[in-house]
Amino acid sequence: MWNKNNITEILNIKYPIIQAGMAGGIATPELVASVSNSSALGSVGAGYMSPGQMRESIQDTKQLTDKPFAVNIFFPENPVICEEEVQKANEWLRPYREELGVHVKPEVSKQNDTLFEEQVNVS
């Protein structure tokens, strides 16, 4: 059969279809449960959620389905921030900010990696 393969067996789904995580509120518990209840794999898009929001979305999804579903979070990247490059970009953009009346000079701050750790530990 076209839909029988290792993925469907491992994930305990009938169809090899995985709904995209779609962070930002699009993947509601109702959508995730509907996909899972249709024998595919629904996915909670939790990338931008706080641990509390993520826990609530997972619990809401569990109330709507007893089928498997995924939880998608963002793996943190740790880009190197070169202050000299940031200053150079700000200088290039200065005339545009002045023309538009934007008086706040943007700054690049180090990413907070604790969100990922907190999300991974949601139970």
Residues 116 and 105: their CA atoms lie apart, in Å, by 28
Quick one: pLDDT at residue 29?
97
Quick one: pLDDT at residue 114?
84
List, run by run, the mean pLDDT of 10-residue segments along the chain (123 residues): 91 96 92 98 95 96 98 86 88 93 81 83 88
Residues 107 and 105: their CA atoms lie apart, in Å, by 7
Quick one: pLDDT at residue 117?
87
User: Environment class of residue 118 by beta-carbon count within 10 Å: exposed (0-12), middle (13-18) or buried (19+)?
Assistant: middle
